Structure 1
Amino acid sequence: MIEFRDVHKFYDKLHVIRGIDLSITKGEVVVICGPSGSGKSTLIRLVNQLEILSRGDILVDGQSVASLRSRSLRQLRTQIGFVFQQFNLYPHLTAEQNITLALRKVLSITPKDATLRAVELLERVGLADKRQAYPAQLSGGQQQRVAIARTLAMRPKILLFDEPTSALDPEMIGEVLTVMRDLATSGITMLVVTHEMGFARELADLVVFIDQGVILENAKPSDFFLSPQHPRTRQFLRQLLSPLHTAND
């Protein structure tokens, strides 16, 4: 479903992504983790060209993104849902309107059908009673769940999550992870940048560790957490999971 082929990203002379090769099959849940500034978010933003490739290529469902022109790129983006750290909801629109806007403007769905889909998705993320609430009337966790519902409304083939819980208070993280768990078992392809190692351990098919723009570890969760091979991975897990000391040295 997604294939990275010798992917590089430069910002002037700063080499952020350094020759990444990675294949993600349909229906897989892949968690990308690593220290701050390692290139995790940049990598997934390259998938739908929110960041432009410097070198190499990414294939999405067999289609090269490097050669896409604007019209084809817009089509591709309708198939790839992106959930940001900051929820990016329109503050002047209700939860329902935030979901129906793209359905009406991009997919040309009738207002009635768009509303039906919005109601169905708000129910799925546990916010059926917040249809008419504005973002300012919602908690951070609720806003992120609306953002996920908005992303699902386009019926994407792929979901990209860029640290979806990092802007949330600890007590709100669980409600977002509950929705993500439901999605992870639904068969949709997911690429998730996160430090939520419980989610990675429980639901990921593959855990990828990136540092300084390079993949240092790429393994099933059982191997990643119990017997990480790279010293930098072991150091990262010790720091992240301390005092649990889940990873062996």
Structure 2
Amino acid sequence: MLSGLRSQSAAGSADFSRLENASVEFRDVVKAFGDHRVLNGINLTINPGEVVAILGPSGSGKSTLIRLINQLESLSGGDILIDNKSTRQLQGRALRQLRSRVGFVFQQFNLYAHLNAVQNITLALEAVHGWKKAEASTRALELLHQVGLADKAQHMPSQLSGGQQQRVAIARALASSPQIILFDEPTSALDPEMIGEVLYVMKSLAHSGITMIVVTHEMQFAREIADRVVFIDGGEICEVAPPAEFFTRPRHPRARRFLQKVLDPLHQERPE
């Protein structure tokens, strides 16, 4: 009991203002909504600078897994360590520090409709991190140039395509120079012709030193860019492997069935 209290106290006082080691470790992680367990005893270590693709069927717990990292969802059991420091029970300043070091890109962009592209990026820098307006604007313009949208700085979200909005969202996630960035199916809300421009930006970030954890249905991205593939089904990790091995020689039967359906969608098992 005392050790548990010490662990909680240490987590509450942890300093996440910068990360010496941008690793993420899941220890016996459990997440339940009522009586329904979405994640059941997840153990996984993601190394600094690694690009990890999280794959699995819909409803398998993929998005919940990464939402636990920066506490968009709360743990039901176990622990998540970032930079070898527990994130349980974080609140206040420590939680804000953590979220400034861990960027998050959502499925639905989540841009503020009444703010232009630059303002969407500068808002948190000014309001949360205390940047001056001029330096925040300079940072925003640099990031818009990085994602290929330098000419869209004054455009409102309604004037941008879905792919452009998601690129603004990526720029916003990068604004505070996070050492870890989480992507929750960043192309799922896009029309097919817009997916490539977002994946191109993500590819340019890969292996830049940022730890990237990507929940995705884009098999080609996972195959070409990821260092490892983590396959989740039924709230459990079924397989962890390099892409070349996972896509050619999946070991777990559930992984084999998943790949067969995803890579050969016309193939369906005949009903009894």
Q: TM-score range by the shorter chain?
A: over 0.9
Note the alpha carbon deviations across 1:155-199, whole angstroms, 9 max, x for none: 101000000000000000000000000011312100000010101
Aligned counterparts of 1:107 and 1:55: Cα–Cα separation in 2? 31
* SS of 2:251 mapped into structure 1: coil
Of 142-151 and 184-193, deviating more is 184-193
The aligned counterpart of 2:31 is: 9
Taking the TM superposition and a 5 Å limit, the aligned residue runs for 1:105-144 are 105-144=127-166
2:53 maps to 1:31: yes
Number of residue equivalences: 245
Q: In the alignment, which residue of structure 1 is the partner of 2:88?
A: 66
Shift of 1:216: 0.4
Instruction: Return 177-186 or 66-75, whichever deviates more.
Output: 66-75
1:61 Cα offset (Å): 1.1
* Residue in 2 that maps onto 1:87: 109
Query: Aligned partners of 1:244 and 1:222: how far apart in 2?
Result: 23
Match of 1:182 in 2: 204
Evaluate the alpha carbon distance shift between residue 244 and residue 208 of structure 1 in structure 2; reply closer, same or farther with a 3 A threshold: farther
Aligned partner of residue 142 in structure 1, secondary structure = helix
Shift of 1:107: 1.3
Residue of structure 2 aligned with 1:210, choices 221, 232, 257: 232
Larger radius of gyration: 2
- Paired residue type of 2:212: M
The normalised TM-score by structure 2 is 0.88
Worse-matched range after superposition: 236-245 or 106-115: 236-245
CA distance in 2, matches of 1:33, 1:70: 32
Instruction: Give the whole-Å Cα distance in 2 for the aligned partners of 1:244 and 1:237.
Output: 12
Residues 1:191 and 2:191 are matched in the alignment:
no
Query: Contact between 2:50 and 2:207, CA under 8 Å: does it hold in 1?
Result: no
User: Segments of 4+ in structure 1 off by > 4 A?
Assistant: none
The percentage of counterpart residues that share the same residue type is: 67
Residue type of the alignment partner of 1:8: V
Which residue does the alignment assign to 1:22? 44
Give the distance between the partners of 1:73 and 1:55, measured in 2 at CA.
18
Q: Secondary structure at the match of 1:57?
A: strand
Matches within 5 A, 1:41-56: 41-56=63-78
Q: Secondary structure of 2:95's partner? A: helix
CA distance in 1, matches of 2:122, 2:73: 26
> For 1:169, which of 168, 187, 191 is the aligned residue?
191
Identify the residue that residue 222 of structure 1 maps to in structure 2: 244
Q: Give the distance between the partners of 1:61 and 1:197, measured in 2 at CA.
A: 29
Partners of 2:140 and 2:159 in 1: how far apart?
18
**Matching of residue 145 in structure 1 with residue 167 in structure 2:** yes
Runs of 5+ in structure 2 lacking a partner?
Answer: 1-22, 268-272
- In structure 2, C-alpha distance between the alignment counterparts of 1:101 and 1:72, rounded to whole Å: 20
Q: After TM superposition, give the deviation of residue 243 of structure 1 in Å.
A: 6.2
1:78 pairs with one of 94, 100, 105 = 100
SS of corresponding position for 1:236: helix
Which runs of 5 or more residues in structure 1 are unaligned?
none
CA distance in 2, matches of 1:70, 1:112: 27
Q: What is the letter of the counterpart of residue 205 of structure 1? A: D
Q: Is the Cα–Cα contact under 8 Å of residues 104 and 183 in structure 2 kept in the other structure? A: yes
